[in-house]
Amino acid sequence: MNKTDLRNAVLSGIEAPRIGPNQARVLPDPGQLQTRQLQAAIDALSAEGGGRLTLPAGIYRTGALLYACDAEDISVTGSGILDGGADQEHWWNWHHQVEPSWAEDKPDLQLEDRKALRRMNQEGIPVEQRIFGPGHWLRPNFF
């Protein structure tokens, strides 16, 4: 499959979301890691067929576990801020584009894995076969 056909196949499979009436709300808990609480709300909405997760104002500290595989029609909205914990020592320093934490003489640790992932995408390798883990430098999913 050439790039144009792959692009058209991907685009033809995209549908507008239809966010249902189900609602979930998580409140900020300052200083606490809220990954499990946020994930539980996402999982509950997924089990109900979709809906809206509202995050009121505040900071929600979370790791890279927020995920909804094969879920549909879930929105996350509100004025809350999701903070995945990245900083100059965690994930930012893996990539050459972070100005304050990077020097010209440091390698782009993600470069080869990014190239491999893009190649897999262009070749139509199924997502479940695009496996990276320890020893690779792709940042984890955030959301």
Would you place residue 92 in the very low, low, confident or very high pLDDT band (cuts 50, 70, 90)?
low
Q: What is the pLDDT of residues 41-84, one digit of tens each?
A: 999 999 999 999 999 999 999 987 888 888 889 999 999 999 88
In a domain, 7, yes or no: no
Residue 125's identity, in one-letter code, is I
CA separation for the pair 86, 82 (Å, rounded): 11
Cα–Cα distance, 90 to 109 (Å, whole number): 13
Same domain, 109 and 70: no
pTM above 0.75, yes or no: no
Q: Which residues contact 119 (CB under 8 A, 6 or more apart)?
A: none
The 10 Å Cβ neighbour count of residue 35 is 17
- Is the pLDDT confidence value at 6 over 90? no
Same domain assignment for residues 105 and 127: yes
* Distance, CA of 64 to CA of 62 (rounded, Å): 7
Residues 100 and 120 in one domain: yes
Same domain, yes or no: 95 and 141: yes
Average pLDDT over residues 20-41: 94
Say yes or no: 94 and 49 in one domain.
no
Question: Is 107 found in the same domain as 47?
Answer: no
Domain that holds residue 27: 17-85
Number of domains into which the chain is organized: 2
